[in-house]
């Protein structure tokens, strides 16, 4: 029977923070709003582009829909300028693939950017789903459950890996165990406060964590 890992993208598989910051600030500049720092953007990401831009803009100005259109056009064109896989991610993914795991990406990033980065960095993964029509943003479980359906994998044979409180909540809503990635955009303390139970501090720790989860340790 198939077994699958559902991976968050930003802050879990890929360091994307500088490109997200650049795209956010390009949008803010275009609409006459003050720019945000990298550390501010770090706290804004995780709930999708709309929430990210709403937080960056300090609310929803009257022209917010125009801002979102600008961001959605800008970011896919600049989503891979400083973005890179975290150290050890590609090696860990290859090891898991060789061990028979099916691998998928489920992200609140817009679907076109999600798929572009999937094809660039993780072509051996089975599929990638991003924010788009018909799939509510995480922490709604729909995206995770749709991925498992496409992978023909039952929930009891699945594990979710992500770096934020949104990921902890998504896994809980989908009824699958979660490994929280401490190398991403949230601190260990923030993850524990969100209800994380199994933490990994580097991608190299993931295979052992999966074994522990599979054997109920």
Active site residues: 8
Residue with tokens 């590609």: 90
- The token duo for 179 is 């490994």
Residues forming a β-bridge with 200: 181
Contacts of 53 (CB under 8 A, 6+ apart): 24, 27, 64, 67, 68, 71
Residues forming a β-bridge with 4: 102, 158
Is 92 in contact with 203 (CB distance < 8 Å)?
yes
| Crossing angle of the two packed helices 89-98 and 206-214, in degrees rounded to 10 | 40
Q: Please list, residue by residue across 155-169, b when 16 or more beta carbons sit within 10 angstroms of its beta carbon and e when fewer do.
A: eebbbbbbbbbbbbb
DSSP 149-193: HHHT--GGGEEEEESSHHHHHHHHHHT--EEEETTSSS-HHHHHH
């Amino acid at each position: 029977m198939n077994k699958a890992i559902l991976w968050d993208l930003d802050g879990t598989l890929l360091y994307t923070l500088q490109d997200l910051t650049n795209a956010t600030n390009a949008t803010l500049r275009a609409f006459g709003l003050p720019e945000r720092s990298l550390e501010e953007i770090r706290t804004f990401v995780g709930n999708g582009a709309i929430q990210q831009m709403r937080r960056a803009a300090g609310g929803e100005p009257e022209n917010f829909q125009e801002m979102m259109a600008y961001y959605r056009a800008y970011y896919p064109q600049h989503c891979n300028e400083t973005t890179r896989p975290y150290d050890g991610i590609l090696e860990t993914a290859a090891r898991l693939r060789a061990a028979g795991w099916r691998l998928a990406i489920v992200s609140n990033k817009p679907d076109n950017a999600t798929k572009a980065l999937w094809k660039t960095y993780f072509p051996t993964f089975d599929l990638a789903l991003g924010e788009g029509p018909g799939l509510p943003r995480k922490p709604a479980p729909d995206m995770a459950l749709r991925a498992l359906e496409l992978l023909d994998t039952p929930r009891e044979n699945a594990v979710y890996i992500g770096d934020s409180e949104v990921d902890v909540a998504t896994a809980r809503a989908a009824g699958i165990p979660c490994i929280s990635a401490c190398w991403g955009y949230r601190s260990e303390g923030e993850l524990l406060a969100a209800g994380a139970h199994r933490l990994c501090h580097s991608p190299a720790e993931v295979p052992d964590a999966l074994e522990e989860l599979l054997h109920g340790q």
